[in-house]
């Protein structure tokens, strides 16, 4: 039976939105590889979902470690021979307090560190796993972005994010959105769909308790994009099923 199930890899999935995304995808019948930098935490998270009767398997992956990229590709090739869903969920926000303009205060080191995780690691991991995604009957790539990556809304006075300029994080997500557009175009003749997801402002370690959304709702956009039908969109930026401006 397992060879007929979809195989999904979610990075940064031992907590928060990633963990809930794993729960929801597994509940829909997928085999979910729950990626975690700390395999101990990944084991604990996966055990909790297994106790719910879900097929979730912990795997070690630090997205900043290229050796981990090769190792996870080899594991997926050996165990499944293909990858149906890649959700690039892992990310960092290192600027400091949300809501303050950090453009003149965030260090070059923090900017580079943010881009390494939020952009360059996503590109590298995705390219490593593309041969396996091409073996899927309906490959899906979901890049966890943020409305804070919208250049249009940042430039529009009075928009919901006009005064929320966390520079390193915002620009890394804008770059990620550009990658979504370019990769979707590069893969336009294949069955692979590539989209960016804004989960919403969610109660997580990053979102804080001030956020209005719970993780159950925060995972819904990723799950929808990961399970799109053949006539679904590609190269888009979405929250729930609504398109967002770039």
Residues 6+ apart with CB under 8 A from 157: none
Q: Is 179 a catalytic residue?
A: no
- DSSP state, residue 139: -
CA distance 159 to 26: 36
Among the listed residues 19, 11, 110, 115, the one whose alpha carbon sits nearest the alpha carbon of residue 63: 11
| HEC readout, 57-120 | EEEECCCCCHHHHHHHHHHHHHHCCCCCEEEECCCCCCCCCCCCCCCCCCCHHHHHHHHHHHHH
Closest CA to 133 of 71, 64, 202, 192: 192
Contacts of 219 (CB under 8 A, 6+ apart): 17, 20, 21, 23, 24, 199
- Asked if residue 173 lies in contact with residue 118, where contact means CB atoms within 8 angstroms, the answer is yes
The one-character DSSP state at 147 is G
93's tokens = 């926000």
Please state, in angstroms and rounded to a whole number, the distance separating the CA atoms of residues 32 and 60.
Answer: 13
Helix axes of 121-133 and 167-186: crossing angle, nearest 10 degrees: 20
Residue of 80, 115, 119, 169 marked catalytic: 169
Q: Any idea which residues carry the catalytic annotation?
A: 169
């Amino acid at each position: 039976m397992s060879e007929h199930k979809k195989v999904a890899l979610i990075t940064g999935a031992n907590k928060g939105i990633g963990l809930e995304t794993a729960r929801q995808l597994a509940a829909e019948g997928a085999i979910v590889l729950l990626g975690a930098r700390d395999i101990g935490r990944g084991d604990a998270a996966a055990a909790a979902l297994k106790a719910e009767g879900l097929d979730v398997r912990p795997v070690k992956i630090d997205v900043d470690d290229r050796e981990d990229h090769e190792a996870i590709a080899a594991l997926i090739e050996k165990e499944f021979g293909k990858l149906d869903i890649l959700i690039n969920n892992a990310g960092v926000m290192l600027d400091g307090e949300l809501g303050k303009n950090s453009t003149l205060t965030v260090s070059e080191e923090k900017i580079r560190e943010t881009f390494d995780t939020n952009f360059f690691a996503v590109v590298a991991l995705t390219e490593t796993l593309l041969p396996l995604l091409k073996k899927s009957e309906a490959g899906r790539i979901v890049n966890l972005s943020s409305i804070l990556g919208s250049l249009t809304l940042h430039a529009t006075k009075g928009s919901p994010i006009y005064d929320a300029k966390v520079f390193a994080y915002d620009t890394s997500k804008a770059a990620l959105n550009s990658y979504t557009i370019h990769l979707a175009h590069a893969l336009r003749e294949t069955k692979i769909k590539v989209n960016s997801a804004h989960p919403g402002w969610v109660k997580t370690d990053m979102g804080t308790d001030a956020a209005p959304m719970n993780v159950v709702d925060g995972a819904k956009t990723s799950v929808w994009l990961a399970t799109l039908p053949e006539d679904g969109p590609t190269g888009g930026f979405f929250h729930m099923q609504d398109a967002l401006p770039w």
